[in-house]
Structure 1
């Protein structure tokens, strides 16, 4: 699917547009470092990772709007103590000046983490990001117990990179985050990248905990299927969990066109109701995104 075919795709499904729960907007100096990481990805993962949408911030916003993305996130994540509040302040400002951005926030296991998350919620944060691979922290760290409890109580979704792809971290895999869910079973945890490569184990968690969702970020694309294909025998479980799967792209940090991520979903043999839910309706319900006429979308807070 070429980029200029994206609007035809969602219109054919009868949707008002797309919702992308896994797009990255962050301070320029941070994004520059992220791009440098991917530029050197060949040394880490053994294959090139070109950035397809390496553009200025305003251009990237315009690109998503041209695709018909009516709501998107600004996934931010710290890799050390002392970064979360600064990133949250930047993201709050970005959301204030970008009405179609879902106000995103983050956290790190450090003293004051609960206070930081409470402040972000009070400021209007609607979705959070936790990156266990980059942050290299244990989600069961006692400094985070109050954070998970607060987010569960607020009903705020947390997009969590907890799978072991593209390279494992000390606390990736279903075990650590599974222990968090056992302690906070009402947490609305969104497993990023469908949990690649531990797909089945994260589907198990979604079946066990009704608040667990999965985002499709990079999953099912040629880039991932070449190295960690989604098992064909697990496809029936995608249908059964169809109301808890959300479209994510990793824009702009993707080594292919945006349309390819959508085309990859059409190859899974699911019906149009499933595609409508994944590409728009599930996220609209989870995040309280109103319809184009201002109707629909239950609030995320419980």
Structure 2
């Protein structure tokens, strides 16, 4: 399904392939619950959310490779205490058997958070995932403070779902993350979904803090444009911040073919140089950085 189209774009741009910073791999029993959530999300969004790539794990990995994805992530997240360390152990094993997956970890405000964050860094984690909406926690919780310091010192990027889409949470929006960055300005945060729907506010944070990036996950697609359209007035800023935008897809949990995210980015009309940075160069540079002890 559309692999030829993704390869055609990659060839036209002269890229070795794509780097997708927002893909989901997790234990099957957890993924089943995530899929059940999306199956029932219609009343929340007013739109049905069919999972396009509801496949076995090996097939999902194979599909990304068929699409020309050189590196991807195993975005996972806890919704209660006691889950994060177990998820981190699973993700370390997945990365070990899947070399093109960036070793991913997560965290939750609990007594042991600093310890397992430090262990993940020592084990060579490449990216953390934080989901403030699903987790229902404040990133400024004191139980996370030392962990954030460890992550900032190590330079490990963090993909953080902090925007209020598809439905607001108690700690979503730019305010909580802005307070976090005020204390830890060296954090390399990747704001998921372009901060949807608070696009302008999160672009503001990217202008203020050089470590703040945004991923394209689901943004600009037909599906999201019906829910939370990206404001046309912000396109010049999006172009200017082209070195801070990273390609993300939300594979496999997307209600359309994978290639549509690429088509949505191309039709923005921001140019081939912008696309080359977004689809490959920015992530290649970001994930080559970071000091791992």
Q: TM-score, with normalisation over the residues of structure 1?
A: 0.95
Q: How does 1:59-74 map to 2 (within 5 A)?
A: 59-74=59-74
Q: Which runs of 5+ in 1 are unaligned?
A: 289-298
Q: Determine the structure 2 residue equivalent to 1:235.
A: 235
Q: Determine the structure 1 residue equivalent to 2:17.
A: 17
Q: Which runs of 4+ in 1 moved over 3 A?
A: none
2:290 to 268, 286, 300: 300
- Per-residue Cα deviation, 1:129-169 (whole angstroms, up to 9, x for no partner): 00000000001100111111111110000000000000000
Separation (CA, whole Å) in 2 of partners of 1:249 and 1:47: 19
Separation (CA, whole Å) in 1 of partners of 2:107 and 2:228: 29
Q: How does 1:84-99 map to 2 (within 5 A)?
A: 84-99=84-99
SS in 2 for 1:214: strand
Q: Which runs of 5+ in 2 are unaligned?
A: none
Q: How does 1:133-282 map to 2 (within 5 A)?
A: 133-282=133-282
Q: Determine the structure 2 residue equivalent to 1:294.
A: none
How large is the Cα RMSD of the aligned pairs?
Answer: 1.0
- Does the 8 A contact of 1:3 with 1:257 survive in 2? no
Separation (CA, whole Å) in 2 of partners of 1:136 and 1:84: 14
- Per-residue Cα deviation, 1:28-79 (whole angstroms, up to 9, x for no partner): 0000000000000112222100000000000000000001100000001000
Q: How does 1:1-40 map to 2 (within 5 A)?
A: 2-40=2-40
Separation (CA, whole Å) in 2 of partners of 1:160 and 1:33: 20
Q: Determine the structure 2 residue equivalent to 1:118.
A: 118
Separation (CA, whole Å) in 2 of partners of 1:301 and 1:172: 29
Q: TM-score, with normalisation over the residues of structure 2?
A: 0.98
Give the deviation of 1:239 after TM superposition: 1.1
Q: Determine the structure 2 residue equivalent to 1:80.
A: 80
Q: How does 1:33-48 map to 2 (within 5 A)?
A: 33-48=33-48
- Does the 8 A contact of 1:21 with 1:215 survive in 2? yes
Give the deviation of 1:4 after TM superposition: 2.7
Give the deviation of 1:116 after TM superposition: 0.7
Separation (CA, whole Å) in 1 of partners of 2:269 and 2:171: 33
Separation (CA, whole Å) in 2 of partners of 1:4 and 1:55: 20
Equivalent pairs, count: 292
Separation (CA, whole Å) in 2 of partners of 1:91 and 1:265: 29
- Does the 8 A contact of 1:18 with 1:280 survive in 2? yes
